[in-house]
Amino acid sequence: MEVKHNDSTELRPEGTRLMDAPVVPIDAPDFLRQIKSEPTWQNSDRNAMTIYKTDAMRIVMIALHKGTVIEEHSTNGVISVQVIDGEINFTTEGKTHNLKKGQMIALHRQIPHKVSAVEESVFLLTVANFID
């Protein structure tokens, strides 16, 4: 297995970050502190960081300021959304699910959904792409 890292960028100059390996430790509180300290968080309604990425699965931490809306969209993969801080409304199939810290929702692929931040919130988005 090839071990993969991300490259440093102007927005994330801290150096490389392990993205794929046989074992990838994930320090969610550290990533949360990092994305909330970046200029994108200070100057935008959201910030996000991919913290794990393979051909089969991706985990992204997404932080939203209160009132931010991610408009309706869908994805080719099966997803789960787990709130790790704050409160969001997750709307799909005509129903709004209010999710608070520790709560999750999961969807099959191609189901349209929308996310609204009731308060400043952070969630983990996991996208699974099944490989035949």
- For residues 97-115, give the mean pLDDT: 97
- Give the C-alpha separation, 78 to 57, whole Å: 9
pLDDT confidence of residue 4: 58
- Give the C-alpha separation, 114 to 116, whole Å: 7
pLDDT confidence of residue 132: 57
CATH code assigned to 4-128? 2.60.120.10
Single pTM value for the model: 0.89
- Give the C-alpha separation, 82 to 126, whole Å: 8
pLDDT confidence of residue 17: 76
* DSSP assignment letter at 109: T
pLDDT in tens, 62-103: 999 999 999 999 999 999 999 999 999 999 999 999 999 999
Torsion angle, CA of 62/64/95/99, rounded to 10 degrees?
80
Q: From 68, 86, 84, 78, select the one nearest 111 (Cα to Cα).
A: 78
Domain boundaries, the chain: 4-128
Locus of tokens 């794990």: 52
**Is the pLDDT at 21 greater than 50, yes or no?**
yes
- Give the C-alpha separation, 121 to 103, whole Å: 12
Residue 29 phi/psi, 5° resolution?
A: -60, -35
Q: Is 7:50 a contact under the CB 8 Å cutoff?
A: no
46-53/57-64 β-pairing: antiparallel
Reported confidence tier of residue 12, pLDDT bands at 50, 70, 90: very low
